Structure 1
């Protein structure tokens, strides 16, 4: 399950940080980042839907919220920086990403801009599509992620991985069977089609972004640590925020915020609470996503996202009184089956690798040394 990276120039661990030194800690951090991503993946669409349901209609503002919580990342980075300064040996320097590798900075900024564009496409679609339809389209992201991962990072597929991708994609497709019943009233065909195409574009683009992040990890010339991953996410978030801020300025969103707050269905105060919570929740998703890719792979990140789509449906039923058709239950079962298939395949692969390594070790200890007298 864990992706392999090329060695670095210095006498450092592999570019995947500490996994070779402490596999248990690596698994713990993978689980932690998966939880962060799950919180964002489930909570983000719900709070975005809450914004649109109660009168919000600013798409650029909504997309800005995806990355606008980037100052949160400064807290763990400041703690890490202070710790490194205190433990640094005499004469060594504690440098940030900006001073270490300009190409890595540039790559992070470009991917961040693409993420900002993807956020806009996703927000546009969420403003015009019901959850069932948008979930169907977003589910196709896994297939795009798998395809781009194969092309960009040479992702290896087993029969279990392929089975998992197929099941998770089918699980998302099942959600569309009764999507027409949830279609927003009074929406024109043009708006509905535009929302559909925008959401499909978001699925394709994010399916590309995840392997691009993994590829950037592999191509960097320095040893990757989780601190560096947070710095990369900080640059990506700032880049995405700048792009969306430009969109907000062009669309006059800043001037519209006070008026929209006064007219918000839940009240002015709760309007700003929704905006702030949206920033926090979406930042959890993006921090978790880059962490999952770091400790595992872009494909695994896509699988976690696909697994959680039915959970979003269930939460929408609970909080927004949406109908829970039988198709949603079937979708949940297929997604759980696909997730179990993926992990069972990884378990068998890990067991096989350990068996091969054990056989090599036994051969190394039992093979007699060559006859020096010949």
Structure 2
């Protein structure tokens, strides 16, 4: 029994600090039973967020390239389409607070101005930077190349998570990062001859550098979101997910709009709409659905950070990347040669390697919960009655 209690003590020390964030934490056997009952709900939420992330990412990336393919030229407007769709979430956010007024007045949350200065403002600046860099990449590179380069954001996120969130690296995770890095490097070697029509070598190089930069900034963004959830906001609820998405998107949209007018690109938007190959209505609908797609993606991303970690969230994003190049072959007639296929295989292999590590962690967690449950059950057993105690 002493040995088992020592094991439980070691397990408790390894548990995440997020338990300190709850107001009333159940203890002992109640906490163990609650954790078991929440198991299937956690999987449902995780799968749902994953579907949101993959579907939103695929739809928005394809539409983002379609904007440039059919006559769009404004990098700032394309960046705004990635970020500016957050108002569609406001009605859902208000409904959420109305249905459960308690979550709208969380007493242990930091004051809004403090949260804005420490969380929403810096995250919004990172979102704006990432959005603009990716829009440059979509303008000058084939969409298949952009999406495969984006796989490198997993390695960037792992790097930043190591310093910001004390991310632990196992053999499977390191293997995943190496494979994804090689996957991106192969594209550098292969795609110097695959340039969209009218794109110079300098523009192609700029698009490649900006896409890699966007992946790096995005990796930092997700690691920072995880840090903010655990250390500053100290609340892991659905309301916090919406808070982060809405307020960081608001800050990023303001920055992008300022850039749109400061660059002078706003003056040519009317002409751009008139000359759009698919017509004015399609021009508006392309931008609108791009914005909605990125908001669906944002819900999935932040939801997975809340449920698991930023590294897991970006890993799910990586496994969804091969969907876009396959669609691009049919929609934009992108080439699918051997090197690009090899890059895709390595990206998928890298993701599977990471998922395997998550499976091992989940199995270990189940064993630890079982040991904890057995100890709790033993502690609840009545003490043995010695025969001598009945002699009165």
Give the TM-score normalised by structure 2.
0.83
Partner of 1:260: 272
Q: Give the drift of 1:97.
A: 11
SS in 1 for 2:193: helix
Distance 1:78 1:93, change over 3 A: closer
Aligned to 2:122: 110
**Does 304-313 or 231-240 show the bigger shift?**
304-313
Change (3 A) 1:341 1:273: same
Aligned counterparts, 1:54-69, within 5 A: 54-69=70-85
Q: Which residue of 1 aligns with 2:390?
A: none
Distance of aligned partners of 1:336 and 1:97 in 2 relative to their CA distance in 1, 3 Å threshold: same
Match of 1:232 among 237, 244, 252: 244
Q: Name whichever of 337-346 and 294-303 sits farther off.
A: 337-346
What's 2:224 paired with? 212
Question: Structure 1 unaligned runs (5+)?
Answer: none
Task: Give the structure 2 partner of residue 144 of structure 1.
Answer: 156
Higher helix share: 2
Residue 351 to residue 236, structure 1, CA distance change in 2 (3 Å): same
For residues 93 and 73 of structure 1, what CA distance do their matches in structure 2 show? 16
**CA deviation string 1:63-86 (max 9, x = no partner):** 01111101111122111111124x
Question: Could you tell which deviates more after superposition, 316-325 or 337-346?
Answer: 337-346
2:30 is matched with which residue?
none
1:41 paired residue number? 57
Q: Does 1:246 align with 2:246?
A: no
Report the 3-state secondary structure (helix = DSSP H, G, I; strand = E; otherwise coil) of the residue aligned with 1:140: helix
Which residue does 2:204 correspond to in 1? Answer: 192
**2: distance between equivalents of 1:171 and 1:93?**
44
Task: Please state if 1:302 is matched with 2:314.
Answer: yes
**Following TM superposition, by how much is the alpha carbon of 1:278 offset from its aligned partner in structure 2, in angstroms?**
1.1
Q: Larger deviation: 284-293 or 343-352?
A: 343-352
Alignment deviations for residues 256-313 of structure 1 (CA, whole Å, 9 cap, x no partner): 2221111011112111111111111111112211111111111011212222222211
Residue 93 of structure 2, aligned match among 56, 66, 77: 77
Write the mapping of 1:1-374 to structure 2, written as runs, cut at 5 A: 5-8=18-21, 10-11=23-24, 22-85=38-101, 94=105, 100-106=111-117, 107-220=119-232, 222-359=234-371, 361-362=373-374
- How far apart are the structure 2 equivalents of 1:65 and 1:141? 21
In the alignment, the residues of structure 1 paired with residue 129 and residue 35 of structure 2 have an alpha-carbon distance, to the nearest angstrom, of: 33
> Compared with structure 1, are the counterparts of its residues 364 and 294 closer, same or farther at alpha carbon in structure 2 (3 Å cutoff)?
closer
Which range is displaced more, 5-14 or 223-232?
Answer: 5-14
| Larger Rg over CA atoms | 2
Describe the shift of the 1:7–1:348 C-alpha distance in structure 2 as closer, same or farther (beyond 3 A).
same
How far apart are 1:361 and its partner, in Å?
A: 4.7
Task: State how far apart, in whole Å, the 2-side matches of 1:96 and 1:230 are.
Answer: 18
**Contact (CA 8 Å) 1:64, 1:241: kept in 2 or not?**
yes
Cα deviation 1:212-269 (Å, max 9, x = unaligned): 0000001135432111211121101111101001011112333322211110111121
